[in-house]
Structure 1
Amino acid sequence: MHKLFSYGTLQLPQVQEATFGRLLPGEADAIVGFRSEMLTITDPMVIERSGSDRHPVLVPGSPDDAVEGTTFLVTDAELAAADEYEVDDYARTQVPLRSGGLGWVYVLATTAPS
């Protein structure tokens, strides 16, 4: 199982049903050192699932910045499904979670560590 932190549309029930085929149990959590900005999405499938063409995206911030969200436990297949859902503007990386340990999160691709 993997920890997947969501601060945006992956928290929506309709997105979870369409992407994973189930609702994911999760816990309120946060990551520090990042801030959220808005991104315009053009992928029709993502817009249809989420109901919006405006999605939040994480960018590096100051040590005082924190983004609230939800940490979900997902399988390998569900993590791959999340990768398929996220458009190319996002890159998956591991970050420290406020609750402890590391979790996967999607950040602005141009700011992701390589």
Structure 2
Amino acid sequence: MPLLFSYGTLRDPAVQRANFGRTLPTRPDRITGYRLDLLEIADAEVVALSGESHHPILVATGSPEDTVDGAVLDLTDDDLLRADDYEVSDYHRVEVPLASGGTAWVYVAR
């Protein structure tokens, strides 16, 4: 079962219901070596769904002092593909280590 680290709108239960048809099991976690920036979203459907014209976006720094808090979402393989469809082209998915151990997928700046 894939894990997805979310630091933004995919933590929102309304966004989860719209994308996955249900709310997802989540737990708090953190990643290091990244910082948050804001990205203006041009996709009207994504803005309508999230209610926000600017979404957070991760930028890799490689610095252990930079950390980002978020939540790990338990997904199915189909859920992960739906998450890929939801994210705009400014993001791409990579695998990162979690502070709690193990790894998860996360969307970062292209």
1:83 aligns with 2:84: yes
Partner of 1:112: none
In the alignment, what sits opposite 1:28? 28
Q: Deviations over 1:37-94 (max 9, x none)?
A: 0000010111011001100000012111100000011000000000000000000000
Structure-2 separation of matches of 1:14 and 1:85: 13
Local SS of the residue matching 2:15: helix
- Report the secondary structure of 1:99's partner residue: coil
Q: Name the TM-score, length of structure 1 as normaliser.
A: 0.94
Aligned 1:1-114 pairs, distance under 5 A: 1-61=1-61, 62-109=63-110
| Consecutive unaligned residues in structure 2, runs of 5 or more | none
Q: How far apart in 1 are the matches of 2:33 and 2:19?
A: 28
Give the alignment's TM-score, normalised by structure 2: 0.97
Q: Please state whether the residue corresponding to 1:36 is helix, strand or coil.
A: strand
Shift of 1:31: 0.5
Paired residue total: 109
TM-align CA RMSD: 0.5
Instruction: Look up the equivalent residue of 2:49 and give its one-letter code.
Output: R
